[in-house]
Amino acid sequence: MNQHEFLKILIRENLERQLLYEGLMFTCSLYFLYPSLVKLGFSKKRDFEFNPMNNILLIKFALNEKNKERYKQINELMDNVGGWFHGASIAGTILKDKLDFLSQQSGQVILQYEPKHDIEISAPEVLYHLTKSDKVNKIKKVGLTPRSSETFFNYKDRIYFSLDKESLKKLAEQKKQINLMNKINSGESKFAILTIKPNGASNRIRFFKDPNFFNGIYTKENIHPFSIKDIEYFEIKH
């Protein structure tokens, strides 16, 4: 492949991705926002507390005569740029009016920010995908492509992964149990977990945090077969 053909491929991929993500709203990872917050005078070690279980970010905001100006700067960054919503202000207890602190010139308030949309994350080095074992041969030939689902989980045109292999085994067990409880004989008892390493393609694939599954992420883009590095088969028996 010469340079001209390679550039044509990159341009085509970029146009396809623009169409793919047009209208999709997302919340930036805090990894991308921390440098800008530090420039506004906040300390990553001292002023931030992030809870990964519910994706809540607490920011310590020292009060002084420039509250309005400083709050406007941080809120424009978090809300307009990052996609994080200022949900509450805490000063001992949650303030009835979250902006009451603007008139105070001493003390400290905690600003609670929550993601407005799914969070885009940097591409992981390794991730895992759960599938039925009878689909593996086709996946090895064509890779993973976005699919829609209206059963178990409801989603449209996505590929779901986990950062933790064991959580997918538990998920397969739960899925089997739900089918049994609902007297659904889906034949889903033999599964496979694919180990995926996006490698060099990872800088062109966008990944988002799944809000409903801890350690879960998804993409709307294809995963090439060469990214599949290992396949583990297992069976759920009840």
CA dist 140 and 159 (Å) reads 15
Q: Based on the fold, state whether residues 131 and 197 are members of the same structural domain.
A: yes
Q: What is the mean pLDDT of the chain?
A: 81
- For residue 14, is pLDDT > 80? no
CA dist 61 and 212 (Å) reads 30
Q: Based on the fold, state whether residues 37 and 59 are members of the same structural domain.
A: yes
Q: Which of 173, 168, 171, 193 is nearest to 238 (CA)?
A: 173
Q: Which of 236, 214, 220, 27 is nearest to 118 (CA)?
A: 27
Q: Is residue 8 part of a domain?
A: no
pLDDT digits (tens, 9 = 90+) for 165-192: 998 888 888 777 756 655 555 556 789 9
The percentage of the chain sitting over the pLDDT mark of 70, rounded to a whole number, equals: 76
Q: Is residue 224 part of a domain?
A: yes
Q: Based on the fold, state whether residues 157 and 194 are members of the same structural domain.
A: yes
Q: Is 53 helix (H, G, I), strand (E, B) or coil?
A: coil
Give 90 or 158, the one with higher predicted confidence: 90
CA dist 99 and 111 (Å) reads 10
Q: Based on the fold, state whether residues 188 and 107 are members of the same structural domain.
A: no
Q: Based on the fold, state whether residues 88 and 195 are members of the same structural domain.
A: no
Q: Is residue 180 part of a domain?
A: yes
Q: Which of 13, 1, 16, 26 is nearest to 207 (CA)?
A: 26
For residues 203-218, give the mean pLDDT: 77
Whole-prediction pTM value? 0.58
Q: Based on the fold, state whether residues 181 and 206 are members of the same structural domain.
A: yes
Q: Look at the chain and report how many structural domains it folds into.
A: 2
Give the confidence band of 22 by pLDDT, cuts at 50, 70, 90: very low
Q: Based on the fold, state whether residues 55 and 139 are members of the same structural domain.
A: no
Q: Based on the fold, state whether residues 109 and 125 are members of the same structural domain.
A: no
Q: Based on the fold, state whether residues 91 and 197 are members of the same structural domain.
A: no
Alpha helices in the chain (DSSP H): 3-21, 30-39, 44-47, 67-75, 136-142, 165-181
Q: Based on the fold, state whether residues 99 and 140 are members of the same structural domain.
A: no
Single residue among 99, 116, 133 that ends a domain in this structure: 116
Rg (CA), the chain: 22
Q: Is residue 14 part of a domain?
A: no
Residue 124, domain CATH: 3.90.210.10
Q: Is residue 125 part of a domain?
A: yes
- For residue 39, is pLDDT > 60? yes
For residues 86-110, give the mean pLDDT: 91
Single residue among 60, 86, 116 that ends a domain in this structure: 116
Question: What range defines the domain where residue 229 resides?
Answer: 120-235
Single residue among 83, 116, 149 that ends a domain in this structure: 116
The percentage of the chain sitting over the pLDDT mark of 90, rounded to a whole number, equals: 41
Q: Based on the fold, state whether residues 131 and 90 are members of the same structural domain.
A: no
DSSP track, 216-235: EEEESS-B-GGGEEEEEEEE
Q: Is residue 70 part of a domain?
A: yes
Instruction: Identify the weakest region by mean pLDDT among 3-12, 81-90, 140-149.
Output: 3-12
Angle at 190 between CA 187 and CA 192, to 5 degrees: 135
pLDDT value, residue 152:
46
